[in-house]
């Protein structure tokens, strides 16, 4: 099966969902979400039999100009599967979250306004899958805009909730600004090298007399990308938008959108790092961004009292760790994973831990009507099992040994030490220490703070299954990371 069928099928799934949602009369819209989840799972299965043009060079489709914009390697498969798994979990999360979505959309008593949410998530997934195959800046830009425009809608989806609307406006304005930076940067890269194809960039760079205009363009593109991955200097939107957006959207933003930003960054940096004229300044730029992001994200998270906002800062902090891994620019060797492998592995563990936390957060939001750390108090007494799961997930986010989060952080540290980035190691150590403090604050609230609200939180079946799976996966990959690493070979 030609690889682009994956995206085509995902678009078709989105269209089917829209049509079915509009024409099938039904009171509850949960089945739309279940249909979306089943479709995404089927497409996820199909990634195993998808092939690129190299596998079948004689076929008619292998000669189409499409392949100038679309590459299909193991990294593309990994990030396509990543987008699909993330969307699948977000759709499942929004099925259980639909009572809140319904309250703030069409009419509190009906679910009529919630059906499009699932279709939009699927369309965002298409954009992320296309970004995984990015090969040309023009094509990548269109895919990135597909993701961003979909997120404008998903963030503001609860249009009768003032917080969601405010978040939507903030995201729209800052997103448009960052898009401006990105396009302007692409124009500079095109103007100085004469090509937008990433494959043709290295040879064009080698012929350049002066790299100043190119480096200027790269810096502008990096500003645009920093918005997507949530890194300094474009991190200001994160806390407000994360707090205001519907919880499934926040989860999607913090995992899917961030991973899409990182795969585009990886694709964009690959040709630049191949040339010594650009690799030095580019790595230095990313290194500075990484340190600033690590310090800002971790230290600003400490005083937070709202849990969703805390997760926003924590997502900035994790972007800092990921950028630090990229800044080492280490290539893959026989006995040590390279920067790209480490980033991909870290993102995979980040998906598992973060989405697990969001599943629990969504139910606490619904049943205790609050998202403050205070609202988690007493969870250890009323729901010991749930509290244990959340403790494991948060400990993994902090990076406790024997959890998946530890292995990711350990790999980043060893990369940075091998590359001799000592300032980066110091910033990461400060960040990790601060991380222990703010994640354990929530754990402390759960187990040792007396609660005013002792109603036990009951997880619906889907959430229960997902939380259990994700928690077990967090522990499992903590001492057995080989399956994820094998996917990256």
Partner 1 sequence: MPSYLFWLFSTIMLIGGAAVIAFRNPVSSALSMVTCFVGLAGLFIGLSAFFVGIIQILVYTGAVMVLFLFIIMLLDLKDEEKRARGFAPLAAGLALVVAFVVQLVGILSQSADKTAPDLDKQTLTNAAAQFPKDSKIAEALTDGRLPDIHLIGHTLFTQYNLPLQLLGVLLLVATIGVVTLSKRQAD
Residues contributing to the site for partner 1 (CB under 8 A): 4, 11, 18, 64-66, 68-70, 105-107, 110, 112-113, 116, 119-120, 123, 126-127, 130, 138-139, 142-143, 145-146, 149-150, 152-153, 156-157, 159-160, 191, 209-210, 212-213, 216
**Shortest gap between Cβ of 255 and partner 1 (angstroms)?**
20
Q: Which is nearer to partner 1, 141 or 376 (CB)?
A: 141
**Shortest gap between Cβ of 120 and partner 1 (angstroms)?**
7
Q: Which is nearer to partner 1, 211 or 449 (CB)?
A: 211
**Shortest gap between Cβ of 101 and partner 1 (angstroms)?**
11
Q: Contact 36/94 with Cβ under 8 angstroms? A: no
What is the phi-psi region of residue 50: left when phi exceeds 0, alpha when psi lies from -120 to 50, beta otherwise? beta
Question: 414 vs 279, 325, 398, 410, 447, CA distance in Å?
Answer: 21, 9, 17, 6, 34
Q: Which is nearer to partner 1, 56 or 107 (CB)?
A: 107
Q: Which is nearer to partner 1, 16 or 402 (CB)?
A: 16
**Shortest gap between Cβ of 73 and partner 1 (angstroms)?**
17
Q: What are phi and psi of 458, to 5 degrees?
A: -105, 125
Q: Within 13 A of 56's CA, how many CA atoms are on the CB side?
A: 12
Strand ranges (E), 420-483: none
CA pair distance 271, 71, nearest whole angstrom:
14
**Shortest gap between Cβ of 367 and partner 1 (angstroms)?**
26
What is the maximal distance between C-alpha atoms in the chain? 69
- Rounded to the nearest 5 degrees, what angle is found at the Cα of 459, between the Cα atoms of 457 and 465? 150
In the structure encoding, which two tokens stand for residue 168, read together? Answer: 């939507």
**Shortest gap between Cβ of 380 and partner 1 (angstroms)?**
40
Q: Pick the closest to residue 230 from 356, 141, 319, 308 (CA basis).
A: 319
> 174: exposed, middle or buried (C-beta count within 10 Å: 0-12, 13-18, 19+)?
middle
Q: Which is nearer to partner 1, 105 or 344 (CB)?
A: 105
Q: Which is nearer to partner 1, 126 or 353 (CB)?
A: 126
Q: Which is nearer to partner 1, 122 or 434 (CB)?
A: 122
**Shortest gap between Cβ of 97 and partner 1 (angstroms)?**
16
What does the DSSP 8-state code read for residue 237? H
Q: Contact 372/306 with Cβ under 8 angstroms? A: yes
């Amino acid at each position: 099966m030609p690889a682009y069928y994956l995206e085509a099928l995902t678009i078709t799934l989105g269209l089917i969902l829209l049509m079915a949602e509009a024409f099938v009369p039904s009171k509850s819209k949960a089945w739309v979400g279940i249909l979306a989840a089943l479709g995404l799972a089927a497409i996820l299965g199909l990634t195993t039999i998808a092939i690129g043009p190299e596998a079948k060079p004689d076929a008619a489709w292998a000669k189409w100009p499409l392949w100038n914009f679309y590459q299909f390697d193991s990294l593309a498969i990994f990030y396509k599967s990543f987008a699909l798994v993330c969307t699948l979990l977000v759709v499942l999360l929004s099925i259980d979250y639909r009572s809140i979505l319904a309250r703030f959309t069409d009419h509190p008593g009906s679910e009529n306004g919630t059906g499009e949410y699932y279709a939009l998530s699927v369309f965002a997934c298409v954009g992320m899958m296309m970004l995984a195959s990015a090969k040309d800046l023009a094509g990548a830009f269109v895919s990135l805009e597909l993701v961003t425009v979909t997120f404008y809608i998903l963030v503001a989806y609860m249009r009768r909730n003032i917080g969601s609307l405010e978040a939507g406006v903030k995201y729209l304005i800052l997103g448009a600004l960052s898009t401006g930076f990105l396009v302007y940067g692409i124009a500079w890269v095109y103007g100085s090298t004469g090509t937008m194809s990433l494959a043709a960039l290295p040879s064009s760079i080698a012929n350049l007399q002066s790299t100043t205009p190119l480096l200027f363009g790269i810096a502008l593109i990096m500003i645009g990308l920093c918005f997507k991955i949530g890194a300094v200097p474009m991190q200001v939107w994160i806390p407000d938008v994360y707090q205001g957006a519907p919880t499934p959207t926040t989860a999607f933003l913090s995992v899917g959108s961030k991973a899409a930003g990182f795969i585009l960054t990886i694709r964009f940096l690959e040709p630049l790092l191949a040339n010594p004229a650009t690799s030095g300044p580019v790595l230095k730029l990313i290194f500075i961004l990484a340190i600033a992001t690590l310090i800002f994200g971790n230290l600003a998270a400490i005083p937070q009292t709202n849990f969703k906002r805390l997760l926003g800062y924590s997502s900035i902090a994790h972007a800092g760790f990921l950028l630090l891994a990229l800044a080492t620019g280490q290539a893959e060797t026989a006995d040590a994973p390279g920067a790209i492998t480490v980033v991909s592995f870290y993102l995979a563990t980040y998906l598992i831990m973060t989405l697990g936390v969001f599943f629990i957060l969504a139910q606490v939001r619904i049943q205790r009507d609050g998202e403050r750390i205070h609202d988690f108090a007493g969870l250890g007494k009323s729901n010991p099992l749930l509290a244990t799961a959340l403790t494991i997930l948060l400990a993994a986010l902090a990076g406790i040994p024997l959890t998946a989060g530890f292995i990711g952080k350990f790999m980043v540290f060893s990369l940075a030490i091998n590359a001799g980035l000592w300032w980066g190691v110091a910033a990461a150590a400060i960040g990790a220490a601060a991380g222990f403090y703010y994640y354990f604050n929530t754990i402390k609230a759960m187990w040792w703070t007396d609660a005013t609200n002792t109603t036990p939180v009951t997880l619906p079946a889907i959430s229960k299954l997902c939380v259990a799976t994700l928690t077990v996966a967090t522990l499992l990959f903590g001492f057995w990371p080989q399956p994820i690493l094998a996917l990256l070979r």
